[in-house]
Amino acid sequence: MRFPKAIEKAEQILTRFGGEAYIVGGCVRDALLDRPCHDYDLTTNLPPEHVIEAFTGYTVIPTGLRHGTVTVHIDGLPIDITTYRIDGTYTDGRHPVHVRFSTSLEDDLRRRDFTMNAVCYSTVRGFVDPFGGVDDIRAGIIRCIGDPLERFSEDALRILRAIRFAAQLGFSVEPATERAMYETADGLARISAERILSELSGALTAPYADAAFTAFHKLFKTVLLGCAAQPVRPLDSLPADKAVRFAAVLKNGASDSLAQLKSDRRTVEDVHFLHAYSCFSGGRIELKKLLAAQGERRTRLLLGYLGTNTSVLDDVLANKECFSLRMLAVNGRDIAALGVAPQRIGSILHALLDDVMEGRAANEKNVLLQRAAEKT
């Protein structure tokens, strides 16, 4: 197991201060899977105030002191360090009312969601894995720690996290855990729209999104209004773009369901656009008109959604073929110089653009001025 030097340094500092220190959670799981790690977590028996004292001289941010977490920056790397804890009662289906710090590593691991996220590693002591997480990781299994009904009743967001992990890692969900996901699905009504959207976005843009959507379609329908029976195309064959993937799993015209989940406006509008142009099958001329109306970003988005090769688009752009008013060889001043009334200049320019895109006129100033004179 190899981790950044900053992680080993943090572990050594905590140990020298008289504490225990273990790398824990997703970064251990991802290291075992040889996946890149982006967030690093350590767990320790030291209370938060002692952790802060241990890292005197470093940038320390009291990220979540109430829950025992501080963030330490070492060599530019932020590391979350959390004191062993036991969660109290969950009354809102999402957060414990209180937490109690513990001196037992196993107490801390027992409160976590899935076995694969409860594996600890120490560069000195090696693995601590009381719930068989390493075996589950190697077998590609998502399994709750303890009673899955209890885990999902505590925090219903874990249901969507299980789906996201399945989509990201290509893992299967252990049968008892899967049954509990459905039996506790009503708890999803208590989860905030923002958190639901975040988990759905992560799942739908993941490498194994198609299998996850098929396996957990009923749960997707629970939290995503307008969810289609199946995607318009296999999700894994589409670009891993949020708007493209949502458009693929939503019924035509159901983009408003994203607004209800408090999605950003651009994604909602992009999904609406993709649905509106879902029958687009134009050739070179139609593609240039689409570029003129929607721009390159949306044009590429649509071609990706439709599974259309971008070679024609790339050729149009590489050859700098005219598809917008600013690319015309004439402008409004040129047309005005012909004595055209100001209110007619725009319509003539657009007519000239159509002539150029459709091949009736070359994009040359003299040619276009002559054609404009004929239109006055």
Is the pLDDT at 216 greater than 60, yes or no? Answer: yes
Q: What is the pLDDT of residues 45-61, one digit of tens each?
A: 999 999 999 999 999 99
| Residue 214: its H or E element | helix 209-215
Assign 86 a pLDDT band (cuts: 50, 70, 90). confident
Rounded to whole angstroms, the Cα distance separating 273 from 294 reads 9
Beta partners for 90? 96
Q: Which tokens in the block code for residue 217?
A: 């379609």
Is the pLDDT at 62 greater than 70, yes or no? Answer: yes
Taking the CA of residue 187 as centre, how many other CA atoms within 13 Å lie in the half-sphere pointing to its CB? 23
CB 172 within 8 Å of CB 208: no
CB 140 within 8 Å of CB 170: yes
pLDDT at residue number 38: 85
pLDDT at residue number 99: 77
Quickly tell me which residue has 């003129």 as its tokens.
292
What residues have CB less than 8 Å from 25, skipping those under 6 apart? 41, 112, 117, 118
Is the pLDDT at 2 greater than 90, yes or no? Answer: no
CA angle 295, 297, 301 (to 5 degrees): 115
Assign 90 a pLDDT band (cuts: 50, 70, 90). low
Kindly report the average pLDDT of the chain as a whole number: 93
pLDDT at residue number 375: 84
CB 264 within 8 Å of CB 201: no
Is the pLDDT at 97 greater than 80, yes or no? Answer: no
- Cα 68 vs. chain centroid, distance in angstroms? 28
Q: What is the pLDDT of residues 171-210, one digit of tens each?
A: 999 999 999 999 999 999 999 999 999 999 999 999 999 9
pLDDT mean over 294-323 = 95
What are phi and psi for residue 74, nearest 5 degrees? Answer: -125, 120
- Cα 73 vs. chain centroid, distance in angstroms? 25
Q: What is the pLDDT of residues 318-355, one digit of tens each?
A: 999 999 999 999 999 999 999 999 999 999 999 999 99
Is the pLDDT at 94 greater than 90, yes or no? Answer: no
Is the pLDDT at 89 greater than 70, yes or no? Answer: no
- Cα 147 vs. chain centroid, distance in angstroms? 29
CB 193 within 8 Å of CB 257: no
pLDDT at residue number 88: 58
Is the pLDDT at 281 greater than 70, yes or no? Answer: yes
**3-class DSSP assignment, residue 362:** coil
pTM here is 0.89
pLDDT at residue number 250: 97
| Residue 80: its H or E element | strand 77-83
